[in-house]
Structure 1
Amino acid sequence: MSQLVSDMSKLKVKAKSDPTPLSQEQFPARPAHGTRGTSVTLWANYFRVVTKLGILYKYTMDVTQIQVEGKQPAKPQEKGRSKRPAKSQPKEVKGRKLYFVIREALAELSKADKSLVLATEFKSQLISLTKLKLENNPLRLTIPAESNPERQDVFEVTIHGPAEVRVDDMMKYLTSPAPDSGDHALPRYPEVADALNVIFGFGPRSRVDDISPVGSSRFFSFKNGGIATPLVSNGRGLQAARGFFQSVRLGTGQLLLNVNVTHGVFKISGKVDEIFENLYVRAGPKTDHRAMRNLRLISKFLPKTRAWVNMTLANGKQVRRQKAIFSMATASELLRSRSHNLPQFDRDWEFAGPRNVKFWMEVPGQDGRYVSVHDYYQQKYKVTLKDYPLLNMGSADKPTYYPAEFVEIQPGQSVKAKLMPKETTDMVNFACRSPYANAFSITNDGRGALGLDDGSLDLFGISVDKHLLTVQGRVLPCPGITYLEKSKAKPLHVRPMNASWNMRDVKVYKPGAMIQRWSFVNILPDRANPVDYGVVDQFGKFMSDMGIKINQTIVTPPTEVITVDNALYGGKLGDFFTWAKKQGIEFLLIILGSMDTEVYSKVKTLGDCTFGIHTSCVQGHFKKFGGGSPGYFANVALKWNAKAGGINHKLRDDLELAKGGKTMVVGYDVTHPTNMPSGKSDEAPSLVGLVASIDRDMGQWPSIAWEQTSKQEMLGHQLIEAFKSRLELWKKHNNGQLPENIVIFRDGVSEGQFGQVLEKELPLIKEACSALYLAKPQPRLTIVVSVKRHQTRFYPTTEQNLPKHLNIENGTVVDRGVTQARYWDFFLTAHAAIKGTARPAHYTVLLDEIFRPKYKSEAANELEKFTHELCYLFSRATKAVSICPPAYYADIVCTRARVHRPEYFEISDVESVVTAGPASSISSSSSGKQVHENLRDSMYYI
């Protein structure tokens, strides 16, 4: 097998001396594998998959519930009634109920034919090793209700198909050196990969009491509590858990299984009274504002939460039943109920405890009466309840209250939650692990959690290698960096070490426009100490020493301090910006007591969109800006110079392609509304950010951003005008000349969307070019997709030259083994990962009219070098970044566009745990905020 893989690695990679033009419909073939750099052997987080499968049969299933929760079939109405007989309407089945129905359906099929080998994802797909006979279709199944086993639910499962899935064709394709008619498409054989993913996921999904699946490919084990850490600093009842991702991938000459450690956010589990105790949740009157805040936070977390409830039946038998929490018991909820003898809440109590809620109790042989929940449990069960809020396990119309002491939240309930800053920090710290720790988890705990060694795969004739895949990589050399000498203002060359360097005794390479008028203000919580004028004055002198053109006289602000409350609600921040505008202020230094997202959003919206004033937010903490830290000052100063149009540093040896000043580099990205409060996801637009270089040094990247239809990835006709604006800006800065080459980095699209980039976006780009170039030769285009959010990781195999952080070396490029020889892609780790496991960027060439025609057999080497060296040109850092700047900047522009729209993307502390909704039909021409014309052609976003 190893010889086969070696042979396949040479597939279609021989460079052609006279490359033929590529069809627009076909992705460019790999011109050759890269050869430059120092060779290195690595492990990849992949296992080789061995199978002799021929054909699989794929079926789809429709499941409906035709009788609900034990209700009897509808009976005719009594004679004389005018109403028509009621009918039991079929009902769609979802969630855990769907899981149990499909599990029972598979059991019925296997009972009829014990030779069947089946797999499913317990939603709609069914994979079989042989054709099903299906003598009874649909299947009618009677299953005990999970919330009450004494009741019976009736379901109908209709099976459609089959469609043949040719695994053998895919294996022939992987092991054949011959060109294939489908090589213009990506991904290849998606139906086979999908079927195999169903088979691989069937084992862990079958362990419903142990494994919690999230999406199509992530699995979290909660056996014995799982591997989790609370995220409870904000009182929202969340936890971070560690699990495993798996997905079938096509490699060079072999089938692979990509396995990675993954992390997710879940509802915290355990006894509700203990959760309330840990989160300081107690029932309280409306006048207790602190208690009300905690109660509101936890109340957003509880609805639809699966729980076990300990209850006593009428016959005295104690049972444990599964139910879904409807809500915390609230007085306002009762206003919607039309039931008789409603529970009664004490006056001014919204979230009430057992002492503050009375319910109507029927007593045989006596008149009914109201009794408090506390007294009822005391008298009947001899249990003294604490003052925790009650839980409604019924509905708004028919509430059924249970004390927290009798309810336990089940583990493994995933949520989509936008994390608060402290929660994000806790999550990152939990997920940050060394490469060896992750590799060990994958090869040990991962195999067990994913069932890679259990019998379900053997039945399908599939086996998974025990060891991680070994791949060959190369380490590219760091480029040199150029600044100016501090004394003579001559070029000074700096040599990076471990992909980073410092600015000791240097000035920025090129200062921006003179900053004549600037000022500052502190925005602080009540009674916090401000950063005084002297520190700000020191910062001005520091920037001047760095070679930044700045008037060291600060324009004295009308006030040095605005409280957070006055900034957000009192109009003081708007007044301050109005003053700044009248004074002709160009830059404002905003000193924050903490990184409050609401304050930050308001500052950036006022500065970027309303008044057209550059703003820079800094943390006033003594260890940050407030202490005059030179490192912190330098980082902020780099942003100021970039905003002013300067170039902080350049490469010692210019990018070869950019030397003549005839190559423009473009990056664009789309961000979508995710993890948002219920309802807002449907309203929020998707946002596009586009940046383009305007100089040969790749130091300035002005941007443009706009809205488009929610959750739409492919760009529409607005791309034409946006692209034209970048060409016009290049022309303005390059003596009226348009670029001859345009290299485009398209960020964030999946393999399945690669073809759409060429079909939908490329024609718009060409139309924009045609409008400006007219009869002149059109520019040569290269489009490269850059992806950061993938699951491929590499680990060192030897301690030789191993960095202290135990990661692979910066500059590592991999274009064999985990790639496909027929396509032109590579993984690049340009940066030095100080913490955690380095994540490489993945680059795939979709169109190439530049590198292969210009560099012939060296095209792959030159593209890798170009991309790698670009990563050293991120203007606000003295280190290489993990993904090339055009893609990175485009992502930052999208993030800033979100900040400008807090009505869509900001959440309050009570809008917490949510599920994203379907795409909406918001118009792409909706009136989104636009960047002020004063800043439009600058790097305001940096």
Structure 2
Amino acid sequence: MGDFNRGGYGGGRGGGYGGGRGGGSRGGGYGGGGGYGGGGGYGGGGYGDRTGGDRGGYRGSGRGRGGGPPGSSFVPQNVEMPKPIRHQTLVACENNAGREGKPVDLISNYFKLSTSDKVVLHYNFDISRVPREGAKTGEKSSPRSRSNSSSSESMDEIDARLERFIKKFSPVVLEKLIVMKPETFKDIPYCYDGYKNLYTTKMIDFKVRQISQRISLKEVEDYYKKVQPDLSEKVVSIYEQLIRFIMGKQYSTFQRKFYDMTTIQSGKSDLAQFVNGYTSGVRMTEVGLAVNLHLKTTCILHTNFTKLSDLTARFGIRPRSFSQLGEVNRMIRHLKFFTKHTKRELTYSIDGLISKTPRDIKFKQRDGAEITIQQYFQNEYKIPIEDLPLVKTTGKQARFLPLELCFLQPNQFLSNSKIGSQIQNELLLKSTNTPNVYFSKLDGYAKKIATTDTELQKEFGMELNPNPIGLQGRVLPTPRQVGERGSLFRPVRQYSHKWAVVCFDQSQNNRIKDFANQIIGKARACEINLKDPHPVVCIALNSPGDINNIFYNIAVKAQAKFIFVGIPQRSTGGMTPSQIYGLVKYHCDQLYGVVTQCFKSDYISEAPRGYFENFLLKVNGKLGGLNAVVDSNALRGLPFQMEKCMMVGLDVNHPAETEALSTSVSAAVGSVDPLYSEYVASIRAQKKDKDEMIKKLNEMIFDLLNGFHKSNNSQFPDNLIIFRDGVSEGQFEKVIKTEIPLIQAAINKTGKKIKITLIVVQKHHNTRFALTEANTSGRKPTYNVPSGTVVDNTIVEPLYKMFYLNSHFSALGTSKPSKYVILRDDLNMSADQIQKLCFLACYNSIRTRNVIAIPTAVRYADLCAYRSKIHVESQRMMVDTVMQEGDNKEEIEAKIIEKLNSVVQVNVNVRNRLYYC
């Protein structure tokens, strides 16, 4: 299997010094322990889907669409929309299609997959250790016994390293096996997932312990002929794996996406370049299996960087200048590099730079004499080594190598955590495609799949139609809104409380009072009457502790109830702008109970056009006002009374893999008024689990029901319309079996029979559709679908009651619909009723007068969960400033969770306000 130490002592092939095991020092670099590993994270992905609506900012991993010119969704010249093909419906979706709305012809990013009757053999391709001499047949051997293994490395750790090795090199092993046994694999069509699963349509003449499975692909035909009620995921995954296997030979892969390295393009930054590609998946639809293709664009490290020292020099890393190690380590961590000073190239992964240089670290040679790394390379390789920070590699037995001997591997993909805001903004523009450009690019990828390795596709009975699937959608009527532009439905005409303006950017000191006067003037134009603020001040931050003192003085001593806060756009006081924002929200939401509205400090000098108008919409809503609401007449025809129904949004915010603490925050918000404009919230923190279910949902729903009870003359609602975010198809059954009983338990405590409608809202999917003919009724022609476009046929999954709704119109890129799946409906609504309900539920947000991309209730839950996550992070940051070495972060996290889950989660003064908006 090779040496796991990659050429350290005992490997005998050069590379890095194996440290800690005695003996000589043959190789390239010192391999002792310790050292600063740097910051940064690994994860994320390509960007995409600039979809308009109110969805500002990006969280977590990116969402994708391919490259191309930036700009609006209006039609560029010379790019034709591909011609879609309609297919016959074989199995209809569980809910009957709706009828309301204007019919419209659409093109989708689905491509019909034809299948035939084949039997596939599934082999488990397992690589094990070579048996020890004298070991019994079938007994696995360990590379070292428990008695002679290092005390710092358990057998479980050894097994984990072996598993990682196998996962990385399994494709190489299979290739070698095929070369060694050509007669065995001759005329054997196969596809391989690169790890343990090997699929063939013929028996392999080889010593096989057991064939894992014989899978009949006739299941597809039987399902669509209604011979059997379901189609196994295993069958669908075979076709998905076959496409991945075929196209993996054509493109570079990153995070299960395919990228065409011939599309590399440079931008404004000298750090990164952009590359286009796509992601694919096989889906069940009403017309049969179909391939869902979606464009992606991501970043790679700029090809100009071939040496690691050149990249670090870009950040100012020079001799005796180590202050920027954290910044550079965020960029270089987990990048791959190789060394050439030995007889063969050796590849490593970077953990980070450390503050020590080659002349600072010494190790003992075989004769017992100590020598520095600098002296070692001079003596062994006649290479003069500069006094630069050492490179620490990843792994249990880290190595330290001289910076100038490290060469970067080409075409390395960069996760979102490695690129700054400037590159992210440019990536967003590169990811933006008008619908006709978007579908034209997909057309090329679909044709590439359809014509690549057709013999193998034929052996597995697969044929892809490269023409996109066409379908008919409907455009629902736009409801009348009360509160037209230029006026507010319910402005806060007289705000009697004290308010203040504080900015943490002292460069704006001479302009802060003028900015406060602009707020007063713009507010009066919206019929919001504010008194003169006090104080109006710019204050420098020297440490996180300053923020507590500042807000104590403003909220407690000056008794301000609403504070406008200017966030600097550069780090100050040892804090980044996002950290300052988080600490502001923690202190004001939780400690002092004052409502805040943050703004970028640069806007004091010059605010963008229309900024104050949008700014004051949120201010009015946070102060208890209402900007615009759907006319109540629009809700006629729905089977419930508005005043006896609560709209509920549920969401869970999970930590990224790179975050220090693994706390998830769940939020539930519920409406308490007939206009669905006032909401109460309930928050719980929980340890992140794989199932991602809301653990204390019974408590949270009961909190909401009590909030409704207090606001409605001691009456509970008759109906709960619940929108659940953050759930995938594989978790639907868990929601039904786990969360719905918790909701019912909360209802039972009221002693009233309350009907439940639970609808899953999915944002993270790859379905897109557009008009087949450009809409020319507007200022400019566009292929993007109008607001209110619903699709409940053809490309929907027949196993579920579901539909897609594009509630908003996107002026940029290709619009992205939201996916709705009905898991329970005690009201027995028709398809038309439930689609109308979901469309109307996307109105009445205080953040905009326009309709948004998802129901307002679930958007508020999303914002509330994210705000609570900021509270957790900010408390952790406050703890970290005084944390001592050896403190247990798990225990600290438990204390934070306990605090967040106390009776008062946010201060009582803001709990029933939309503080999170």
Shorter-chain TM band = 0.7 to 0.9
Q: Does 1:838 align with 2:841?
A: no
Q: Map 1:171-186; keep pairs closer than 5 Å.
A: 171-176=221-226, 181-182=229-230
Counterpart amino acid of residue 837 in structure 1: T
Cα-to-partner distance string for 1:109-131 (whole Å, 9 max, x where unaligned): 76314232111110121112134
- Determine helix, strand or coil for the equivalent of 2:847: coil
1:95, CA displacement in angstroms?
A: 4.8
Shift of 1:791: 0.3
Can you list the C-alpha shifts for 1:767-801, whole angstroms capped at 9, x where unaligned? 100101x1x4x111111100011000112211243
1:227 is aligned with what amino acid?
I
Instruction: Name whichever of 387-396 and 683-692 sits farther off.
Output: 387-396
What residue in structure 1 maps to residue 583 of structure 2?
Answer: 602
How big is each residue's C-alpha offset from its partner over 1:857-880, in whole Å with a ceiling of 9 and x where there is no partner?
Answer: xx1111111111222222210211
Q: How does 1:79-98 map to 2 (within 5 A)?
A: 91-92=162-163, 93-98=165-170
User: In structure 2, what residue type is equivalent to 1:721?
Assistant: E
Task: Tell whether 2:264 aligns with 1:227.
Answer: yes
**1:167 Cα deviation (Å)?**
2.1
Q: Which runs of 5+ in 2 are unaligned?
A: 1-83, 133-140, 571-576, 881-889
Measure the CA separation in 2 of the matches of 1:675 and 1:715.
18
Q: For the structure 1 residues 271 and 709, does the alpha-carbon distance in structure 2 shift closer, same or farther, using more than 3 Å as the test?
A: same
Give 1:847's aligned residue. 824
One-letter identity of the residue aligned with 1:870? A
Aligned equivalents of 1:901, 1:451: Cα separation in 2: 52
User: Following superposition of structure 1 onto structure 2, how do residues 604-619 of structure 1 map, counting pairs within 5 Å?
Assistant: 604-619=585-600
Equivalent pairs: percent with the same residue?
Answer: 20
Q: d(CA) in 2 for partners of 1:244 and 1:673?
A: 26
**Residue number in structure 1 paired with 2:199:** 127
- Give the match for residue 444 of structure 1: 444
Aligned match of 1:664: 646
Question: How far apart are the structure 2 equivalents of 1:665 and 1:76?
Answer: 61
The 1:107–1:468 alpha-carbon spacing in structure 2 relative to 1, beyond 3 Å, is: farther
Q: Is 1:701 aligned to 2:679, yes or no?
A: yes
Q: 1:592 Cα deviation (Å)?
A: 2.9
Contact 1:687 1:894 (C-alpha < 8 Å) held by counterparts: yes
What is the correspondence of 1:446-465 to structure 2 with a 5 Å cutoff?
447-448=447-448, 454-465=454-465
Secondary structure of the residue aligned to 2:796 is coil
Per-residue deviation, residues 436-495 of structure 1 (Å, max 9, x unmatched): 222122121465479756543233221111211111111122111102xxxxxxxxxx4x
- The answer as to 2:801 corresponding to 1:824 is yes
- Deviation of 1:814 (Å): 0.8
Give me the whole-angstrom Cα distance separating, in 2, the residues matched to 1:413 and 1:171.
40
* Cα distance in structure 2, aligned partners of 1:882 and 1:83: 60
2:240 is matched with 197
Query: Is the CA contact (8 Å cut-off) linking 1:827 and 1:842 kept in structure 2?
Result: yes
Larger strand percent: 1
CA displacement 1:538-581 (0-9 Å, x = unmatched):
42343244234x4x322421x61112x33x44615533333322
1:820 aligned partner, one-letter code: E
1:104 aligns with 2:176: yes
Q: Which amino acid aligns with 1:359?
A: Y
The answer to whether the 8 Å contact 1:205/1:213 transfers is no
Instruction: Say if 1:181 and 1:648 are closer, same or farther in 2 by CA, change over 3 A.
Output: same
Q: Which has the higher contact order (CA 8 A, sep 6+)?
A: 2
Deviation of the 1:903 alpha carbon = 5.2
CA distance in 1, matches of 2:641, 2:286: 36
Q: 1:571 to 1:362 in 2, by over 3 A?
A: closer
Equivalent of 1:721 in 699, 704, 728: 699
Give the Å deviation of 1:245: 0.6
Matched, 1:871 2:848: no
Q: Aligned match of 1:786 in 751, 754, 761?
A: 761
Once the two structures are superposed, what CA deviation does each residue of 1:62-115 show, in whole Å capped at 9, x if it has no partner?
Answer: 3235499xxxx99999xxxx9999xx9873324542331233345567631423
Letter in 1 for 2:117: L
1:641 and 2:666 equivalent? Answer: no
Is it true that 1:554 corresponds to 2:532 in the alignment? yes
User: Which residue identity lines up with residue 670 of structure 1 in the other structure?
Assistant: V
- Provide the residue aligned with 1:306 in structure 2: 336
- Structure 2 Cα separation of the partners of residues 735 and 836 of structure 1: 47
**Equivalent residue of 1:724, what SS?**
helix
Of residues 655-664 and 897-906 in structure 1, the stretch that sits farther from structure 2 once superposed is 897-906
Displacement of 1:296: 3.7
Alignment partner of 1:655 is 2:635: yes
Contact 2:258 2:279 (C-alpha < 8 Å) held by counterparts: yes
Q: Which residue of structure 2 aligns with residue 427 of structure 1?
A: 427
- For residues 851-902 of structure 1, give each alpha carbon's deviation from its aligned partner in whole angstroms, at most 9, with x where no partner exists: 43xxxxxx11111111112222222102111111112111111111121122
Note the 1:269-284 alignment, pairs <5 A. 269=303, 271-273=305-307, 276=310, 280-284=314-318
1:262-411 alignment, distance < 5 Å: 262-269=296-303, 271-273=305-307, 276=310, 280-286=314-320, 288=321, 292-311=322-341, 313=343, 322-325=347-350, 327-328=352-353, 331=356, 338-340=363-365, 344=372, 357-359=374-376, 361-362=378-379, 372-373=384-385, 401=401, 404=404, 407-411=407-411
Q: Does 1:901 align with 2:872?
A: yes
Counterparts in 2 of 1:283 and 1:721: CA distance versus 1, 3 Å: closer
CA contact (8 A) 2:586 2:875 kept: no
Q: Which moved further from structure 2: 115-124 or 782-791?
A: 115-124
Contact 1:361–1:370 (Cα < 8 Å) also in 2: yes
Decide whether aligned partners of structure 1 residues 173 and 277 sit closer, same or farther in structure 2, where only a CA change above 3 A counts: closer
Following superposition, the deviation at residue 673 of structure 1 comes to 1.0
**CA spacing shift, 1:620–1:308, aligned 2, 3 Å:** closer
User: Secondary structure of the residue that 2:679 maps to in structure 1?
Assistant: coil
- Residue type of the partner of 1:786? V
CA distance in 1, matches of 2:553, 2:144: 74
Deviation at 1:597, TM superposition (A): 0.7
CA positional deviation for 1:599: 1.4
SS of structure 1 residue aligned to 2:507:
coil
Query: Hey, what does 1:163 align to over in structure 2?
Result: 213
| AA at the equivalent of 1:249 | R
Which residue identity is paired with 2:173?
A: V
Question: What are the superposed Cα offsets for residues 623-662 of structure 1, whole Å, 9 maximum, x if unpaired?
Answer: x465577832222222122222332211123423465411
Q: 1:464 to 1:614 in 2, by over 3 A?
A: same
Q: SS state of the match for residue 272, structure 1?
A: coil
Deviation readout 1:894-939 (Å, 9 max, x if unpaired)? 111121122599899xxxxxxxxx9x99699543372112111221
Mapped contact 1:670–1:713 kept (Cα < 8 A)? no
Whether the 8 Å CA contact 2:564–2:598 is kept in 1: the answer is: yes
- CA drift at 1:594: 2.6
Aligned residue for 2:884?
none
Partner of 1:212: 253
Inter-CA distance 342–449: structure 2 relative to 1 (3 Å threshold)? farther
CA change 1:903–1:420 in 2 (3 A) is farther
- CA–CA separation in structure 2 for the residues paired with 1:935 and 1:57: 61
The 1:362–1:755 alpha-carbon spacing in structure 2 relative to 1, beyond 3 Å, is same
Moved more, 635-644 or 656-665: 656-665
Question: How far apart, in 1, do the equivalents of 2:464 and 2:126 lie?
Answer: 32
Compute the displacement of 1:259 (Å). Answer: 0.6
C-alpha contact 1:61 1:124 (8 A) present in aligned 2: yes
In structure 1, C-alpha distance between the alignment counterparts of 2:482 and 2:388, rounded to whole Å:
64
Are the counterparts in 1 of residues 351 and 393 from structure 2 also a CA contact under 8 Å?
yes
Q: TM-score normalised to the size of structure 1?
A: 0.76
Cα distance in 1 for residues equivalent to 2:338 and 2:85: 56
In 2, distance between residues paired with 1:189 and 1:333? 58
Question: Match for residue 512 of structure 2?
Answer: 532
Amino acid at match of 2:88: S
CA drift at 1:212? 2.0
The two structures have a TM-score, normalised by structure 2, of: 0.78
Distance change (3 Å), C-alpha of 1:825 and 1:697: same
Alpha-carbon separation, structure 2, partners of 1:75 and 1:766: 54
